[in-house]
Structures are given as C-alpha cells and as structure tokens.
Structure 1
Amino acid sequence: MSLDLQQLTVYSEDRSQVLLSRASCRIEARQLTLLLGASGAGKSSLLNALGGLNPAIEGRIEYDGIPLWEGRRPSPTVLHRIGMVFQFPEQQLFARTVEGEFTYSLRPLKLSRDEMRQRTEQAMQEAGLPLTLLDASPFDLSGGQKRRVALASTLAARPEWLLLDEPTAGLDPASASSFIRRLEAMKARLSGGIVVATHDLEMLLPVADAVILVANGEILARHTVQALFEQPELLTKAGLALPAGMKLAEALRQQGILLPPGPHSAARMAALLHELAPYGKQAAGKEPAFGGGPIQKASFAGQPGARNAGEAAAGNGLSGAPGPLLPDHDGRERSAVAEGPDAKASGTAPTTGTAHAKTADFTPNHPGQSQSRWAARLDPRAKWIYIVLVSCGTLLQTAWPGLALAALATAFSVRVAGLTRRAWYPVTRPLLFFTLISFVFSGMHWGHEGTGWGAFVPAFSFSAAWATLFNLSQIWLVMMLGLILPATTSPFRMQKGIEQLLGIFRRLRIPVDALALAASLLIRFIPMLGREAQRFARIARSRGKRMTKSGGLSWRELPAMILPLLISVLQLASDLSQALESRGYTLTGKPRTSSLRLQLQRRDVQVMLTGLLLLLALLSLRLLLE
C-alpha cells in the first residue's frame, strides 16, 4: 500500500498562483512521514491536495493505485479512507453535543445506530475522555478536551490514511509528548500511513520514519530520518534551522564523538550525554543506557579544562553551537549555555523553528498579474479619484452605446488591476442574480383584452425590462470599479490615504483619524471574513465527505459551519479591539506620529488624468447621443 504523487501541480483556488510545482514522490504505508519546509513552502497546500480539498490541480494522486479524483469530483471511496485533522483542531467542532461531533463524522459511512455508538465510545476511551462528556456541548470543554474530541471523532471513522496539519501547535510540552505517544500507537493500528505537516522537528523527528522536504513550491527530496541525520545540510537547503538535538550531535561529531546513528529524543540525548560523565573522560565503546549502539569515541583533545561538549565546540570556533542540552522538568531540551551575540553575528539560525527564507513567487502567466503589482504601488488617493471619475461617467449614461463604452472602461480597469474572476465573481454574483430576476419581473404585467376577469392576460413589456437591466448594469459596473481599491491597496496604505485626503477637515474638528481607522478596519475585516469562511468550508468538506463538482461545498454542510464561523469572527473582533486598545487608539484627540507619508508620483498623476479623460469621453458620448 502506498500514496503516490505523479507530476502534481497545485494552484491557488483562483489559479492565479502555483503553490506546488510538478511534485512526484511515494509515501509508504505504515510509516509516519513528515512534510518539512519553511513557512510558505507549500506544505499545507500539499496536505490539502492530498485530502481532496483543492480541485485546482494537475497530475495524479493515487491511494493504493486508486485515483483520488474522478473527473471533477473526488472519489467517495478514497475520501472515506482519509482522515484529516487541521491546525488547531479544537476550532473544527460543529455540533451541539460531543456525541453530535461523532455522528457528524460517522454519518457519511451510513453505519447502524449501534455501530456508531460503539465506535464513539471506543474512540472516547482511547482519547482518555469520560463517556459522561458525550452529552456536553463541545464549546464548554477545555482546550485540551476539544482537541482530543476533534481527533477522536476523526479516528472513529477508522481512516486508513491520517493527514495532520501542525498537530503540536499550541500544545505545552507535556501535552505534546502525550500526543506523540498516541501518534505512535495510531501508526501501529492504521493500515495506511500518517502524513504530518509540521515545524516541530524536535518532537516529531525522533518518531518519524521518513521526511519530505518542501521548498519554494517544490519537493526537494524524500529521505529516511536516518539519512537526514547523516546529512543535516539537507534541512538547511530547505530553509530550515537544525533542531537543537541535531546541532549538538553535529558539534559532538566535529569533536570526534560519534553518537549512535539515528534521531534522538530529549531523554535519549540526555542519557547519551550522561555517558560522557565525568567530564573529559573517555567513553569509547561504552553501551549507552538507552541502547542504540555504543558511543564510538569521546575525546576533547586540545581542549584542556573544557567542562562539556558545548565549551569544546565553542573553543574550536563552532559559532552558534549550543551548549549541552539538559532534560528540563517538562521533558523538553533546554540549552545550558545561552546563545550570545556571536551567534547572531555568525548568521547562525535559531536552534529551533524555521528559518524565514524568502520563498520564490511561483506565478504562472496569468492575465493582469504583472499589472496588479504595478497597481499596488499606486497612491490610494489616485486610485480613488480614478474610480470616482469613471463611476460618475458610468452613472451619467442614458443609452446603451454609452453603457457599452463604460463597460469597456471598467473591463480595462479590472484587467490592469489584475482582478481575476475568482476575485470579483463571488462578490458581485448576488447582484447578477438580482439583476436577472428583476429583469424578468419588471417586464411582467397583466394585459387587458375584452371585458370581465377573463380579459386579464399575462404580458411582458421588454421596454420596462430593458430599462431595469440598464439601471442595474450601471450599479454592477460601479461595484466592479469599487473592488479595485481594496484588492490592490493594503489596509495601512488605505488608512493613510484616507487620513491625508480628509486632512483638511481636521480644522473643523472632524475626527479624521477615527474615520480613516474605521474605514481601514472595515476593509480589512471583510477579507478576513472571507478567509475564515473558506477555512471552515474546507473543514466541513473534509469531515462531511460531501463535495460538489470541482470540490465545492455541499449546501447540506452550510448549517454545520455557521456556528463555528460566528464564534471565530467574534474572537477575531475581540482580538482586534484588544490590539487597538493596547496601541492607544482609544485615546482620541491625541497627536500621532506616522511612519509613512504618501507622496503623489508621476504615475499617480497619469492615472488621475486617465480617469478624467474617460469621464470626458463618456460625457461627450452622452451629449452626442442626446
């Protein structure tokens, strides 16, 4: 059994960007495989593609030889073999009760009531949760209990393959260690395998079987964990810093101390270091207490008085090499010697975490993409004035030729701004449907033929229908123009543009700063709502196993995501208000400093003049048509 990727290319949902390019590899069953890479490398994109959540792909994904996709839909047979747990799984709970969470996950399997109850109780017991919680609301549980419920409800479906996204994120060391032990137990039970996208190398490398290195939207290589420890430079090529244990092992190796091969947990590394005591004595050939082979050589030659391997390494000029890692009370490693300024000067990456390497921009030949970058550099005031001028010209039209010219001007503006169909269609779709319905109903009326009630017959007035279509089309074009500003302007530049544009009203004691901040937050919050909705839609698709064509969300899953989406939005609003208060925005009337002062450039003047010319052209056409 295996999971095979063949020339897999993953796009963003609007297909404007390549997230992963021509990836091919095999993930073996009964193994724990880690997806490793810097932030933005493509790990989560790959994981979502493996879960059938991103239809914008090319190439093939096969589970044990069965294609994941059947035309434009994921295969239900394969989906039922996949269990996926997202980052912060406690946020993926939907139901009114804990038992309802299990029912939601098991419903696609069409099990009997007794079988569902048996699986639910077994999963609860394996997760260490009392059965008395089944009637409780999942939102009343502690954070740790929510996470265990989310994982248990996924495992109750008994998937063959388990996909995890940052499973240890937000866990304290004791909880993370407990989760790792359960992960090892899961691997022994699954007939498929476990794939984990993670940054937590310290906790997961010692229990992993293989790693897939992802960088800049490409799979660099697949290695065994043993090979990774023998060639630590592979992590550096992937934009990752070496974990503390690997750095220490490398420092010891350079001093002639060869530890047993393979990854070492914190406890095992502590035991191996203990074999070096008393400091400076030979330990060659001695079997370490935790097994795994003897320490081949223990020599601090040339370092008289060095008390430990960390000092020896520092004495030999190994800049950035950590001191010995001692077992902390929580089971994690900690360095006995803090990294000093020399570590920064040498450019050494932190001992844990991810090196923030700049990722390449994998952008296909997408219409308007280069112009979008150009539009983003424009002064927001210039864009606002351009939009107002063209919108005025559009609303002044009274005939179809004038509206056609306005439509051409709008299409040109949208193309230059780089707005894709995926960017504008979801926003304007309700108005388009409303326009169609209004076109039909505005033209309907009762005609009159003869006398009596039977003389009234349905009729249709095309003149009234076309008039309605004309007016609503003007509104739609103005809406399209209005989308350009938030799509090509960051919230900060938007706020500064409004402040400077309305600055003359400060003398009238109008709270310009507050108005600008409110407008900026509103513009920022709307995209956040969209991103949260997309996130919960992915969760609902994954858990409900119901997908429409092209991986869309079934309407039956919409009620399930409303409550967690609302809770998430309220939490975002609360976090935002706290951030504003901490930064002093509640102190009105106080003078403020600014790190940015917008200055109109030549290109900004050209944009405003273009808008003025379009307004004059539209106005002239209207006068000619009259």
Structure 2
Amino acid sequence: MPITIRNLTVYGEDAKAEPVLKDISCSLPKESLTLIIGKSGSGKSTLLRTLGGLVPPGSGELLYDGEPLWRKNRVSRPLLLQSAVAFQFPEHQLFAPTLQREFDYSLKPYRLPKPERLRRTDAAMHSQRLPVSLLDASPFTLSGGQKRRAALAALMAAEAPWLLLDEPSAGLDAKSLTRLREELSRWKEKRSIVLVTHDIDAFLPLADRVLVLAKGELAADLAPEQLYQHPHLLVDAGVGLTPAMELAGALRQAGCALPEGIPAPAGMAAALARRLQAGAGSRHSPDPAPGPGPAVQPPASRQEQPAPPLHTGSGIGMLYQLDAKLKWLVYMLISLGVLLQSSWTGLAASMLIVPVLLLMLQPADRRKLAQLSRPFLYFMALAVFISGIGFATEASVPRLHRVEFDGSRALGTLRRLSVLFEITLLGLAFTLTTSTSAMKQGLEAALRPLKNLGAPVQMLSLAASLTLRFIPLIVEETDRFATIAKARGKRSFRKNQMPVRDLPVFAIPLLLSLFQSVEELILAMEMKGFGSRQREQLPVLQTDKRIGGRALRFGIVIFLLLAGIRCWEQWRGVSGI
C-alpha cells in the first residue's frame, strides 16, 4: 500500500497565513524506510501528522493505495487504521491503570477477537524484551526505559502497515539507540516506516528514501547515496553537513580512500587505519586518493545567519525590544486605566488598545494570542447567559413562565468580564513577547526599593512571572495531548473535534505533564536557593533610552486618557458598574 502525495498544501491555525507545507508531491513506497529531514520549522512534523490523518490538507491529495485519506473535511476511518503514529517521548502517552489496559485501548479500534488481541500483545511485549508479567503492573511504576518500550509495544501491537515516527531517538542513550536501529531494520521487512529525525547519521544507513524539507517545500527526494554525493542539498536546506559527512570529507582530504556509498563509522575507521599504516614508513604524505568528492563546505552566502534584529522604528520592534522592567510599568499603567472604566463609553475607548496591540505582535504570536483568548471568550458567553437568567417568585405567574432573562444583569456581567478580558489580553501579549527570566528580572528591578524593607522581592517576581507564563504552557500542552489522544483513538473526526471517549487518554497525561512541570520548577527553585537567607543579587538591566522613553510615554498617555474618561463620567453623573 503506497502513499501518494499530490500538490499537498497545509495551513496552520490561520488559513490566510503562509502555509506550513507548500505544494508537496512525492510517493512513499511500501515496505521501506523514508526519512524526513530539515531544520526546525521546515514542516517535518506537520507532514508526518498529515500522513497520519491528524492535520487536514488545505489543498491537494493524500492517497493510501489510491484512496483519499480525507473526504469532505473528515478522515476515512478504514484508512486511519492503516497507520500508527508515535510522537516524541512516547512514554508520555501512557494513561491506563495497567499495561494490559494500554494494549486493550490501542487494539480496540481494530475489533479483533480476544485470542488475536492476546497474540498481538504477547508478540509486541516479546519484541520489546518486556516480560509478560508486567501486563498487570501500572505503567507509571516502570522505569523510564521500560515505559518507552511499553509505549512502542502498544503501538506495534496494532500491526499497522505504516509506522509514522516523530524523533524516536529523542532522549535515548547510545545502547538504546543501537537497539532502536536494530528494531527498525526488522520492522521495515514487514511494514513501511516514515521517520522524522534530526539524527541523520543514525538513521540514514537504514533509509531507502530521503525527503529534505526547507521552508515548507520539498527541497529534495532522493536515495541516501545520492544525498552523500550532493551534500550541498543539506546546506541549502539549512540543515548543514552531518558529523559523518564532515569527518568523511576530512579523511578524503587527508588521503584516505573511503568506500563508495554511505561512509559508515567502521568503514571510515578501516580507511584511517590503512592511511596510518601507509604513512608509517614515509615522512611524506601520499597524494590524496580520489573519492566521490571532497566534503562540500558551505559558502558564505549559504551559511545560516542569525536573524537580523527587528527595526527599532517599527511597532513590532519596540514591543519585542522593550526592557522587561518598562513593560511591567506600562502593563500596570494601562491595566489600572482599564480597571477604572465603569461605562460602555470608557470600555469602548480602552478596547481601542487591542487592535494596536495586535498590530505590534508578530503573526505567529498574533495567532497564538487568538488561540489563548478563545477559551476565555467561551467562558464569557456562558457567564453572561447564566447571569441573565432569573426566576419569578410571584404566585400569579404561571409555572412555565417563571423563568425570565434579565438583559440588564447580562450586560452588567458583560461589562465586568470585558474589563477582565482586556487585562488578560495585555498580560498574554506580555508573556508572548518576553521570556520568563526577563519578566522575573524586570519585576525584581522595579521592586528593588522594597528589598530594603525586607520584602521577598525575588520570590514575588518569580511567582508573578510564572503565573503569566503558565497559561500559555497549559494551552500548548493541551494541544499536544489532544493530538496524541486523536492519534491513539483511531476514530473518524472532523477538524478541531475531540471525542468525549478519548478524554481520559487526553486528560491524565496532560495533568501528569503539568505536575511534572511544577515539580521541576520547585526543584529548580530549591537548587537556586529560593527561600534561603542568602543575600539575593538583583540584576542590573540595560535599557534603550529612546525605545524605553517612547513606551513609557505611551503608557502614561493611555493611563491619563482612560483616567480622564473616568473623571469626566463621574462629573457628568454616569453611574458605575
């Protein structure tokens, strides 16, 4: 069952933005191992998830043995069962109380008879060198290595024709990586494998085909041997030469005759030994032996250059370059001005800040801000509706007409929540344009005078900055585990739809991940001496006076305008909230 991709284009959350994948066309043969390589952000994982039916194509076709995977924005369930997806750190996908329940969940979509389920479970456990006695144990009591092998075993038990692996070597030591390579060699004899990786040297000798992505486009589709003959393709794609390629080029330049094809470590070691033996009796090095070609060094124009700094005159540049201390001050000034508003006029005036804020964000952060704001808007709509519901208590009112909706109460709730929503938007924009350490250092510098009064400035600043940063973390982890739940559930679903039956697969790993993040945070705080009586050294931040002065004037002006609207309303006798 080959996979055919024709003019595939995939968009992110915003269909009007630049596509993540652009006009991809290729064919993936069955019973082969295809590598997908490219620099970070090139679209590798998106392509893998599109192959697994987790991301719908914007245009083009994705065919399994001639049959389209997507029909009318819905994935074909029979074809969905033909692939199994493993994300980075598959041990984080475990959720069931016992390992046997993990296998039961993975095999449930295939509707197999019990004897066949048991056979596949035992075979998968044996392939991963795990004793069958562990099936009754909780997966959370296993060691880290056992968890990963158990997660891979649950994946392999489905015996899907296609295995889609995203960075399977992440976090593996040398021994585990060797075992994984051996397993891949066995797997591709019966199944087809698509593997996304940055560890090119580890998997290229096993590959039958290589897809090189660059900026969402297919830069090359070739055999592994051809990639070694044309290493400039990796340089042009921003990946750069692999360590094996660099070593092979250095050995050829030193006169070592390397065997043709992919330079394996054993072959390069043998060539180096021959070179040393040949040069032992002579003080002069022989002429360099001919080979497939010297290593291609990236020309200056091809070397990846750091991104140029944002222009300081633009709104985006000012927002991202502004010192965190001034960001805190401007954020608090504008937030205070928003909190002062008590009427629709003042609220409408303060809301004018939102489009200005959106224009100052980069497109990726703008989309992320919209994604983070969506749950709050749903909550606002529900709260406004509930607040407007009332019940008539008069006995004269018929029972069926006692439920009433008070529009004034609903509007009052909407005004209050709109103020909170705007302040939340400001805080989210702050977090998207500032790192956690910068927020912490900025608040420490702003609260420096309180240090002399004995206030725990460092702890307060850390708590405030982490509170702002924790909301985006929750949203990112939610999206990640929702995708994993969809991959494991193997149910036909529409875009952005989450089956209720998959909630345990999604919620339990999500909570465990958040608990682990909190635990790591506490450990890091303890290691850095938070809470101790040691003298805390507050940072000295450097500020661009021109940008800082412009931002500070902007915050003061906005605050004065909003405060002026509030005073004018009080003078006119406008009632408060």
The TM-score by the shorter chain falls in which range? 0.7 to 0.9
- How far, CA to CA, are the matches of 1:505 and 1:624 in structure 2? 39
Whether 2:469 is the aligned partner of 1:524: answer yes
Deviation sequence 1:496-515 (CA, Å, 0-9, x none): 22122222222222122221
Deviation at 1:138, TM superposition (A): 1.4
Deviation at 1:542, TM superposition (A): 0.9
- How far, CA to CA, are the matches of 1:455 and 1:211 in structure 2? 69
Q: Which residue of 2 aligns with 1:29?
A: 30
- How far, CA to CA, are the matches of 2:153 and 2:195 in structure 1? 17
The correspondence of residues 482-493 of structure 1 with structure 2, limited to 5 A, is 482-493=427-438
Contact 2:85/2:165 (<8 A) preserved: yes
Whether 2:350 is the aligned partner of 1:403: answer no
Alignment CA distance shift 1:496-1:255 (3 Å): closer
Q: Which residue of 1 aligns with 2:311?
A: none
The correspondence of residues 428-443 of structure 1 with structure 2, limited to 5 A, is 429-430=375-376, 432-443=378-389
Deviation at 1:187, TM superposition (A): 0.7
Task: Give percent identity, aligned residues only.
Answer: 38
Output the amino acid matched with 1:375: L
Alignment CA distance shift 1:572-1:454 (3 Å): closer
User: Runs of 5+ in structure 2 lacking a partner?
Assistant: 309-313
Q: Which residue of 1 aligns with 2:55?
A: 54
Q: Which residue of 1 aligns with 2:123?
A: 122
Deviation at 1:248, TM superposition (A): 4.3
- How far, CA to CA, are the matches of 1:62 and 1:588 in structure 2? 64
Contact 1:496/1:597 (<8 A) preserved: no
- How far, CA to CA, are the matches of 2:423 and 2:57 in structure 1? 30
Contact 2:428/2:468 (<8 A) preserved: no
Please report the RMSD computed on the Cα atoms of aligned residues, expressed in angstroms: 3.7
Whether 2:293 is the aligned partner of 1:305: answer no
Match for residue 375 of structure 1 among 313, 319, 336:
319
Contact 1:40/1:359 (<8 A) preserved: no
- How far, CA to CA, are the matches of 2:509 and 2:56 in structure 1? 24
Whether 2:515 is the aligned partner of 1:565: answer no
Q: Which residue of 1 aligns with 2:44?
A: 43
Deviation at 1:80, TM superposition (A): 1.0
- How far, CA to CA, are the matches of 2:4 and 2:103 in structure 1? 30
Deviation sequence 1:503-561 (CA, Å, 0-9, x none): 22222221222211222233333333332232222211111123642144323222123
Alignment CA distance shift 1:450-1:98 (3 Å): closer
Deviation sequence 1:289-310 (CA, Å, 0-9, x none): xxxxxxxxxxx79x93379x9x
- How far, CA to CA, are the matches of 2:355 and 2:257 in structure 1? 67
Output the amino acid matched with 1:175: S
Match for residue 614 of structure 1 among 561, 566, 573:
561
Secondary structure in structure 1 of the residue aligned to 2:121: helix
- How far, CA to CA, are the matches of 2:358 and 2:255 in structure 1? 64
Q: Which residue of 1 aligns with 2:418?
A: 473
- How far, CA to CA, are the matches of 1:70 and 1:208 in structure 2? 31
Secondary structure in structure 1 of the residue aligned to 2:392: strand
Q: Which residue of 2 aligns with 1:291?
A: none
- How far, CA to CA, are the matches of 1:128 and 1:140 in structure 2? 17
Deviation at 1:586, TM superposition (A): 5.0
Deviation sequence 1:299-355 (CA, Å, 0-9, x none): x79x93379x9xx879xxx9999xxxxxxxxxxxxxxxxxxxxxxxx9999xxxxx9
Alignment CA distance shift 1:249-1:463 (3 Å): closer
Q: Which residue of 2 aligns with 1:211?
A: 210
Deviation at 1:431, TM superposition (A): 5.9
Secondary structure in structure 1 of the residue aligned to 2:351: helix
- How far, CA to CA, are the matches of 2:431 and 2:275 in structure 1? 63
Q: Which residue of 1 aligns with 2:265?
A: 266
Contact 1:90/1:147 (<8 A) preserved: yes
Contact 1:386/1:612 (<8 A) preserved: no
Contact 1:14/1:422 (<8 A) preserved: no
Aligned residues: 559
Output the amino acid matched with 1:260: P
Output the amino acid matched with 2:194: V
Match for residue 423 of structure 1 among 369, 379, 386:
369
Q: Which residue of 2 aligns with 1:132?
A: 133
Contact 1:251/1:313 (<8 A) preserved: no
Deviation at 1:391, TM superposition (A): 4.0
- How far, CA to CA, are the matches of 2:136 and 2:66 in structure 1? 41
Q: Which residue of 1 aligns with 2:114?
A: 113
Q: Which residue of 2 aligns with 1:496?
A: 441
- How far, CA to CA, are the matches of 2:539 and 2:415 in structure 1? 45
Contact 1:496/1:598 (<8 A) preserved: no
Q: Which residue of 1 aligns with 2:277?
A: 279
Contact 2:103/2:154 (<8 A) preserved: yes
TM-score, normalised to structure 1's length?
A: 0.78
174-183 vs 577-586, which moves further: 577-586
The correspondence of residues 288-327 of structure 1 with structure 2, limited to 5 A, is 304-305=282-283
